[in-house]
Structure 1
Amino acid sequence: MNDNIFECNLRAPYSLKSDLFSLELPIYAISSKSREPVELKYKDTFVRITPSHIGRATVKDKEIVIYCLSQLMVQLNSKLQPGEIASVCTFDFLKTTGRGASGRAYQDFNLALERLKGTIIQTNRTINGKPIDQISGIIESYKISESKSRRVEIKLADWIIQSALENKILTLDPSYFGIKRSFDKRVYEVCRKLCGKYHTLSIRLENFHTLVTGTGTAAKFKRDLTLLSSRGKMLGYRVKLKNQMVRIYKDTPEGKKFLTKDMLAGIV
């Protein structure tokens, strides 16, 4: 057994985890049709994302990274020696993420791996003061087994492993994989990163746009966000938009108090 390989074979409940970097900034695209390089600047952080010829890695593709990272964190929290290569049973992943097990689902999984491998990131971001490689992918390589189990060995990028080792991760809602729309999933990620211990938070619409997608027109983003807001709470958060401000409320007793107060005051 290669000591550098860790098995993603947990079936009992475990916490879903994401790295902080891709929670805060839109490393992953909303659509697989995204094929143009993207440059993002937010505060002191610069990111350039270059897709491969089949497109940029998507929010849905990120589920593979979350699946591997979540099980890696179980190992780290159990004081076991961490590996860098995740051994994944494709069927277990598809079942866990609710994708079904059709031939199309397996094909989409393979395309997701290729996008993750081919998407290149350049950034000045650091992890605990340690620079992320100036040019890095999301996964370095993958190898698909020819056996009936259809396992795949996925070598995660160094910056993802470093995020785990430095505990620069956050726990996601257990129902995260159940969010169907990639846009909604990305809004949830940003809310999760921004709010932290706060019960409510305000941010300018243009900044929220940068953090959620970083692409597309302001008008389309506002329409999509208004539609999401009209559907009510989303995995523990409510998002309200008025004028050029976005207000996020946690679905907690304190968060509900803030929402009620702001509604009575006409703020939202």
Structure 2
Amino acid sequence: MNSHLRQDRHLQRDFFVADILDASPKDDIASMEHPLFALRAGDKRVRQYARNGVTVTIKPGFDGCATIHDKDVWIYCISQLVEAMNRGREGIGRTVRFVAYDFLVTTNRRTDGDSYKRLGDALSRLRETTIETNIETKNQRERRGFGLIDSWAVIEKSPFDDRMVAVEVTLPDWLYRSVEARHVLTINRDYFRLRKPLDRRIYELARKHCGVQPKWHVTVKTLHEKSGSADVLRNFRGAIKGLAESGELPDYRMTFDADTDAITFYQKTGKKGAMAQIRDVLAKVGGKAEEKPCR
């Protein structure tokens, strides 16, 4: 008996379709800890970073290093892959195909023609920027060099203009191993509303180090080193104080202590962060009272 259906010639796809619109944003822990992405557009420096046995060298492409705003592509792909794995989907791999419009909406970007062009520019920088590092992923530590993405392609273009409709991105094996091992953290959707690159980087560090703990205390000098900022310490300190005073960092309150030149991050939600901050305030007031001479 002849079948009315043709054979499915593409049953085993070599790409994963990103179509989970309610996926929670996820970020890679290693790139949250180490400054792989530039904080300034057009940064063409070869940047080197070493801390606690981990070394990272970032080499720019023709248009400079990929920026922390370009990293939104990483975050979008990671989020889709992790959610698909959690739902037990099959056919998941390093190559992710997604609708450009969905990416722009999810990452809180405009959807005009310029935004599609900016996405193309970001993909180019991600492909051209190379990393050499010994960061461990999935219990493997090796000296490895790779592009921030292996490749990208426009799969479908608009019939009316030059806008890309569907895009295909192949992630580096190093990053995919990290995703497989669930070395990721959920981040606040308001991360995509942070305009300043440094603010995004500070949120990453707070989310990585404070996490669900009541607080994280760090000196301004150490935070400066971990951020990868090229600003002098004085200017960096001013920017951090401004962010702390604004109260706009998602998930965390920040307090600056001029006496120790340090920042403390407290959880905004729940009682633990508030109680930790109250204890710190009382301890500081009590300490100053003890220092005050009796009359």
| Distance across 2 between alignment mates of 1:232 and 1:132 | 40
Residue by residue over 1:153-210, the C-alpha shift from the partner in whole angstroms, topping out at 9 and shown as x without a partner, is 1000111110111111111113222222221111111000001231112122222112
| Distance across 1 between alignment mates of 2:273 and 2:106 | 31
Where does structure 1 differ by over 4 angstroms across 4 or more consecutive aligned residues?
none
| AA partner of residue 221 (structure 1) | F
- Give the TM-score taking structure 1 as reference length: 0.93
| AA partner of residue 56 (structure 1) | C
| Distance across 1 between alignment mates of 2:127 and 2:283 | 49
1:257 equivalent in alignment to 2:286:
no
Unaligned runs of 5+ in 1: none
- Identify the match of residue 65 of structure 2 among 42, 50, 56: 56
> Aligned ranges for residues 170-181 of structure 1 at < 5 Å?
170-181=185-196
Over the residues paired in the alignment, what is the CA RMSD in angstroms? Answer: 1.7
- Give the TM-score taking structure 2 as reference length: 0.85
Give the 3 Å change call, closer, same or farther, for CA 132–107 of structure 1 in structure 2. farther
> Aligned ranges for residues 108-119 of structure 1 at < 5 Å?
108-119=118-129
**Paired positions, count:** 266
1:135 equivalent in alignment to 2:152:
no
| Distance across 1 between alignment mates of 2:42 and 2:157 | 32
| Amino-acid identity (%) | 27
Tell which structure's C-alpha radius of gyration is larger: 2
| Distance across 1 between alignment mates of 2:148 and 2:222 | 25
| AA partner of residue 38 (structure 1) | R
| Distance across 2 between alignment mates of 1:185 and 1:85 | 26
Give the 3 Å change call, closer, same or farther, for CA 128–91 of structure 1 in structure 2. closer
| Distance across 2 between alignment mates of 1:53 and 1:179 | 27
> Aligned ranges for residues 61-72 of structure 1 at < 5 Å?
61-72=70-81
- Identify the match of residue 188 of structure 1 among 183, 192, 203: 203
SS in 1 for 2:189: coil
| Distance across 1 between alignment mates of 2:50 and 2:263 | 19
Match of 1:75 in 2: 84
Q: Is the 8 A contact 1:40 1:214 kept in 2?
A: no
| Distance across 1 between alignment mates of 2:156 and 2:98 | 13
Residue by residue over 1:220-242, the C-alpha shift from the partner in whole angstroms, topping out at 9 and shown as x without a partner, is 11111011011025211012222
Unaligned runs of 5+ in 2: 1-9, 159-163, 286-295
Cα displacement (A) at 1:80: 2.4
SS in 1 for 2:150: strand
SS in 2 for 1:131: coil
| AA partner of residue 10 (structure 1) | I
> Aligned ranges for residues 230-241 of structure 1 at < 5 Å?
230-241=245-256
| Distance across 2 between alignment mates of 1:144 and 1:19 | 25
> Aligned ranges for residues 1-268 of structure 1 at < 5 Å?
1=10, 3-11=13-21, 13-81=22-90, 82-131=92-141, 134-148=144-158, 150-242=165-257, 243-251=260-268, 252-266=270-284
